[in-house]
Structure 1
Amino acid sequence: MLCPKLRMSIKLKNVIGYVNEFNHMVYSVISTKPKNEHLQLKWQPSINNFCTQKLPKTANIFGDISGRKFDHLEMDKREQEEEKFQDTEACIPRRLKPSPGQYAKMIKIHIAKKDLNSALKVLDQLKENRDKPTIYLYNLILRSFAIQGDIKQCFRLYNKAKQYGLKPNAATYTCLFNVCAVCDRNEVALEHLNKLRQSLYEQQFPLNETHYNAMVKAYSWHNQIVEAFKLADEMRDNNIPVRESTYNSLFHAAIADKEAGLRHGLIIWHLMRLKKINPTLTTYNLLLRTIRDTNLGNLKLDDILVSGWQKGRIVLREGERPDLLASPPVLSTLLPLVEKEQEVTQDDNNSEKQIESINLNDVFVNNRLILFGGMEGFLSRMAYTKVKPDIKTITLLLYLIPNTVQAENLLIEAADERNIELDIDFFNMLIKRRSMRLDYIAAKDVINMTEKRNLSPNVMTFGVLALGCQNCKHAEEFLRGIEAFGYSPNTVIMSTLIHKACQNKNLEYLLFVMNYMLENRMRPNEQAVTEVKEFSKTLSDIKKPTGKYGLQKLKRLEKNLEKFERLYLKWQKVIENMNKSSRN
């Protein structure tokens, strides 16, 4: 009998529960059963001892059951956005969302298509899916913007990643250093670079070889040669290996110093020799750029290029070919060096001999390779170190060899011996080089070289060939040749022809070019407009023809002057109409 009552007691407790608004209903049900009156009296106190307040009608209100009141605090903007997001957005199941690897794959696909805006949208998709991004995903996009030199976007992504609580890693900082190097705004790049470098020092972040090389490159490309060399010293002090890639970056710093960059380049070269680091093709090409674009500064005989290393001292030797790349660097008595003796009075009445040399910059004005073993010596040095030159090497040598047909032909033969395929761009530069020294016959001979090599001319070819058109007949043949190859002359080519006509004060030539442009509705550029305008002011200074057939030539000149006046008015109106249409 006790067990059934106990079970009923437990059952009733479960029925009653904690919901106060059901108390009256439970009480009425129990009181309608007279046989269980004792049971009704027994459970009445239990019901009365539960919560006597009515529960709120809305189950979402928390805290009222205990009777305590809570102060209402306003949420900040981020909390409001988060609550709105939680209330309005449904949580996407994990099986329906991309995995971290799939996010990375989507970003890589967009980057391969060079669609960086779509790559950025993948990060927005991560947020919509309530997935936390990784620093790897940010690094993928950072690297792509770094290649483009978009320093603003790179540092915006860097700061955004830190806001998400992501910890930048070594690859992140490499991307940031590289974008500082590539950025074309010196002040902005150096400001970001210095701040980032200082920040990493304060954090005691362990910089590796890649970081230092990127920083050296960045300072070098922004003309901070002193800072670049300081970083190289810092690498040595921190026991970080200074390899060939670091020295190549320092060559960029040397190239930035136009007055004394070649002196710095020689120091870099001999440091590599001292450390027994073999030069690569990149090293040789950068060295040639340094020779082409910079000067030696105040370098002179007996200077020591590498402090404390006697093999870095410039020596004078009789009869030898000068070569500042040798160890030790050699100057020859064949060069116009000056040696004089100067008596210096001392306490012991000894005398000393002072050797002076003229500025070495004056020695290699016409042949910048003369102090580096010449073209043959330079190529032989490359062969000795088992480095094969490429088309870039040959092109750089073209700027450094003597400005003669003989030297140019020797360079082409050297390229053929080494099986280096010369492209049309090389021959375009050769045509320009010969045209600039007014050797127009040799410039035209280059076309025969291209035909033997089955190279087709391009627009640039015709642009440099225009430099050789000295009269109206040449211009006519030249324009027919362009049309025969299926090209149309552009405004740059026509501007070149106008320049040659005005330079030679050839009125007939100028009339032909102006007519051609009007007939073909070609708009002249500013240079052409200016040159024709200036030429029109000098018509009165044209010499009257004399001598045999002078009268016929005079009549032709007068006729051409009348043509020019009419044509020049028409030329001005056409230009004015073209300008109006372009503005509209």
Structure 2
Amino acid sequence: MSKMLRSAFQRGVLTRNSGVNVLKCAASFSSLRRSAFCPSERVQQKNLRFFSESATLRAPKWTESSSSISNAFDHVPEENKGDSFGDYSRKFSSKRIFRKASAEQRDLKYRNPEEEDDEDQKPVEKFKSRTGRRNTPYWYFLQCKRLIKEDKLAEALVMFEAEMLKGERLQPEEFNYTVLIGGCGRVGYLKKAFQLYNNMKKRSIEPSDATYTALFNACAESPWKQSGLEQALKLKQELLKKNIALSAITQHALLKTVALAGDLQSCFQLLREMLQNGQPITQETFQYLLISCVNDKQHGFRLALQVWHQMLNIGIKPDAQNYNILLRAARDCGIGDPNLASAILLKRPEDEANPKITSGRKSRRAKVKAETSCQHLDIDAFENELFVDTQTQRLGLTKESELKEKDQSIKDASQDETQMLPVSSSGSLTCQSELSAHSSSLPNLLEPRTCHSSVVALGSVNSASDRLALIGNLEGFLEKMAKDGQKPNIKTITLLADVMEAGSQSVQSLIDVAKRSHVKLDVPFFNTVIKRVAKAGDLDGAKAVKALMVDRGLVANAQTFCSIALACRREEDAMQLFTDMEACGIVPNAHIYSALISQGLKRLDYAYLHELLKHMHKMQVPPNEVIIRQLEFASQYPPSYDKLKSQNVYLDRIDGFRGFYKEWLEFMPGQETPHPWAKYQSPKPESNQDGVKQVSE
């Protein structure tokens, strides 16, 4: 019986009838077992003796039950046949590997046949990299670095965001973000640089010193200096809260940001922090201090000379970049109060006032140690000397001037002939010497120890050539560079051309200097010389320099003609300029028209302005903001002008110009100033862009 039950359960086809028969057999089997152990019960259940020969199961009943089982199985619907227990294991028993289906496969599985015939339905394509294989983050780092060197920052950003992150879904590393932040920093793309930095923090990637240096450099190169300074100070406070110490390179990047913003006092605060942290003071440090001085247009040249003297006092030799920045200060900045500048710059150093007496010769090792070691920088004294109180200083100057007058009267009484001799034509230096120009020695303020007894005071310093005379003119400046072991480069010679007086002798002397220094002159150098000559009003001289440039094998560009336009004061000169540009194949732009309009505006020549506007309309050159501002000023009456009281030949024509100007504004399109970051911004992502397909699941 147990064998029959076991076979019935293995087949798994128990129906209602077969189940009843099996249960009856099981009940009789259990009762027989009880009767075998209990004799009293065996007598009462004689008909159910299972182990006797007479009590055997009938075969027909069992065959009927089995047939009923088969008949019952035949009546089971076909839908329920597949849902039997254990059937699914047969299908998947041989499968050992399970692979995740892609989005493309799921889309193809559930796609309708009607949609496949539709022509508008595009097949879903898988992302393909440029190399046809799966790349690494370091490969993308090298590609982005190459694109940034080729000035293709927008393509580098698209490659990183669209291909690396969205296409291949790679996990970026720190160097991937750092190279892009550095590229954004070089062009001043401040917004994108900090956006990458924030994404870097969201991915829990720890920035390095190079990352922070690139961020501060982005703040420094931003078109909006004050906004960049605020962002840099916020980043500095964030690093202080995290107890992250800035390296010397990162500290210089922060110093560059503050210097370009023109905050000289904050520069000294950072300089004090560098000294407290034990970071070295180098030539680069004084470069940024000089840049901060250049931003002060009124006293910048005097401040730059003070910084220069302090750099020499602590034993740091300037490099070519320091000399170039000093020339920028001489070109763009003034000296401030001459009396204050005389008291500060012509002050005798303490070492010369109280010379130290030494006996014997120094050893060679002591000389080398003295040359290489730098003296300690007293930052507090340096700051107090640089930001001197003008009122207290002026009080001291009045006393000193009185004492000098008394001394001079005593010298006159003793029959010592003295005279105030101007060195340059504008009187930038007044020396107490003989009248002979050959015997007079000019002091050079680049040397802090050249305060001769013959120097009384500084005269009026109005032009850039006067400020160049204070630092030794061309010969003295180049001699000082040679002493420091520096040679002038093309940038140095170009700045000297912008500082020296305009004339043929200056141009020839600069050409000789370039020849001795083996420097090849380029187009920007000649454009600077032409601009300098044209500002002096010498149109023929500007054209002569242009001819000299062409003779040397250089080609004139739009900037060349823009510089010549500064000397075109008549209408005939402007028309001739347009003819020369057409012969060279150069189309006039808004900058050239702005230079010509400025010349016509100075003379109030409204006929000249009228012809320029007509020529702009003919060439279809849209005006920019500068031109609109110039024309608005030209169309306004002077505040003190009254037609009834007085007549002016030039101002009588303003009415006709005003009417033509209003009509000209209606049919001339305006030129919108492009955003500085427009060319670096990537376009908005679409459904199909840069090989990336958006799949809708």
Range class of TM-score, shorter chain: 0.5 to 0.7
Query: Structure 2 vs 1, CA of residues 533 and 381 (structure 1 numbering), >3 Å: closer, same or farther?
Result: same
The answer to whether the aligner puts 1:102 opposite 2:139 as a matched pair is yes
State the partner residue of 1:427. Answer: 526
Q: Which runs of 5+ in 1 are unaligned?
A: 1-11, 17-21, 42-56, 58-84, 338-356, 544-560
Contact 1:255–1:294 (Cα < 8 Å) also in 2: yes
Q: Map of 1:52-63 to 2, 5 A cutoff?
A: none
| Residues in 2 aligned to 1:488 and 1:145: alpha-carbon distance in whole angstroms | 33
Q: Map of 1:239-278 to 2, 5 A cutoff?
A: 239-278=278-317
| Residues in 2 aligned to 1:177 and 1:227: alpha-carbon distance in whole angstroms | 15
> Secondary structure at the residue paired with 2:316?
coil
| Residues in 2 aligned to 1:303 and 1:394: alpha-carbon distance in whole angstroms | 26
| Residues in 1 aligned to 2:432 and 2:236: alpha-carbon distance in whole angstroms | 47
Query: Structure 2 vs 1, CA of residues 451 and 332 (structure 1 numbering), >3 Å: closer, same or farther?
Result: farther
Q: Map of 1:479-498 to 2, 5 A cutoff?
A: 479-494=578-593, 496-497=595-596
| Residues in 1 aligned to 2:541 and 2:671: alpha-carbon distance in whole angstroms | 43
Q: Which runs of 5+ in 2 are unaligned?
A: 1-5, 34-85, 87-102, 108-126, 354-381, 386-430, 434-439, 673-697
State the partner residue of 1:207. Answer: 246
| Residues in 2 aligned to 1:411 and 1:157: alpha-carbon distance in whole angstroms | 47
Residue 442 of structure 1, CA deviation: 2.1
Instruction: State which of 268, 275, 278 in structure 2 corresponds to 1:229.
Output: 268
Instruction: State which of 150, 164, 178 in structure 2 corresponds to 1:139.
Output: 178
- Per-residue deviation, residues 59-82 of structure 1 (Å, max 9, x unmatched): xxxxxxxxxxxxxxxxxxxxxxxx
Amino acid at match of 1:461: T
> Secondary structure at the residue paired with 1:299?
helix
- Per-residue deviation, residues 483-508 of structure 1 (Å, max 9, x unmatched): 22223334544555565556557787
State the partner residue of 2:628. Answer: 526
> Secondary structure at the residue paired with 1:320?
coil
Q: Map of 1:388-399 to 2, 5 A cutoff?
A: 388-399=487-498
| Residues in 2 aligned to 1:435 and 1:239: alpha-carbon distance in whole angstroms | 51
Residue 574 of structure 1, CA deviation: 5.7
- Per-residue deviation, residues 525-547 of structure 1 (Å, max 9, x unmatched): 53675587579x9997449xxxx
| Residues in 1 aligned to 2:660 and 2:233: alpha-carbon distance in whole angstroms | 58
Query: Structure 2 vs 1, CA of residues 489 and 210 (structure 1 numbering), >3 Å: closer, same or farther?
Result: closer
Query: Structure 2 vs 1, CA of residues 405 and 145 (structure 1 numbering), >3 Å: closer, same or farther?
Result: same
Residue 217 of structure 1, CA deviation: 0.7
Contact 2:301–2:335 (Cα < 8 Å) also in 1: yes
The answer to whether the aligner puts 1:416 opposite 2:515 as a matched pair is yes
Contact 1:523–1:575 (Cα < 8 Å) also in 2: no
Larger RCO, structure (CA 8 Å, separation 6 or more)? 2
| Residues in 1 aligned to 2:610 and 2:214: alpha-carbon distance in whole angstroms | 57
Residue 244 of structure 1, CA deviation: 1.6
| Residues in 2 aligned to 1:324 and 1:139: alpha-carbon distance in whole angstroms | 44
Query: Structure 2 vs 1, CA of residues 175 and 506 (structure 1 numbering), >3 Å: closer, same or farther?
Result: closer
Q: Map of 1:367-446 to 2, 5 A cutoff?
A: 367-446=466-545
State the partner residue of 2:165. Answer: 124
- Per-residue deviation, residues 136-194 of structure 1 (Å, max 9, x unmatched): 22212222222232223222322222222222221221112211211233343222222
> Secondary structure at the residue paired with 2:327?
helix
Alignment: residue pair count? 465
Q: Bigger radius of gyration, 1 or 2? A: 2
Residue 106 of structure 1, CA deviation: 4.8
| Residues in 1 aligned to 2:277 and 2:670: alpha-carbon distance in whole angstroms | 65
The answer to whether the aligner puts 1:171 opposite 2:220 as a matched pair is no
State the partner residue of 1:155. Answer: 194
State the partner residue of 1:291. Answer: 330
Residue 210 of structure 1, CA deviation: 0.5
| Residues in 2 aligned to 1:576 and 1:223: alpha-carbon distance in whole angstroms | 42
Residue 519 of structure 1, CA deviation: 5.7
| Residues in 1 aligned to 2:476 and 2:506: alpha-carbon distance in whole angstroms | 14
Query: Structure 2 vs 1, CA of residues 306 and 235 (structure 1 numbering), >3 Å: closer, same or farther?
Result: farther
State the partner residue of 1:326. Answer: 447
| Residues in 1 aligned to 2:460 and 2:671: alpha-carbon distance in whole angstroms | 53
Residue 389 of structure 1, CA deviation: 1.0
Amino acid at match of 1:99: T
Identity of aligned residues (%): 27
C-alpha root-mean-square deviation of aligned residues, in Å? 4.7
The answer to whether the aligner puts 1:220 opposite 2:264 as a matched pair is no
Query: Structure 2 vs 1, CA of residues 152 and 462 (structure 1 numbering), >3 Å: closer, same or farther?
Result: closer
State the partner residue of 2:363. Answer: none
Contact 1:517–1:523 (Cα < 8 Å) also in 2: yes
TM-score normalised to the size of structure 2?
A: 0.56
TM-score normalised to the size of structure 1?
A: 0.66
Contact 1:145–1:151 (Cα < 8 Å) also in 2: yes
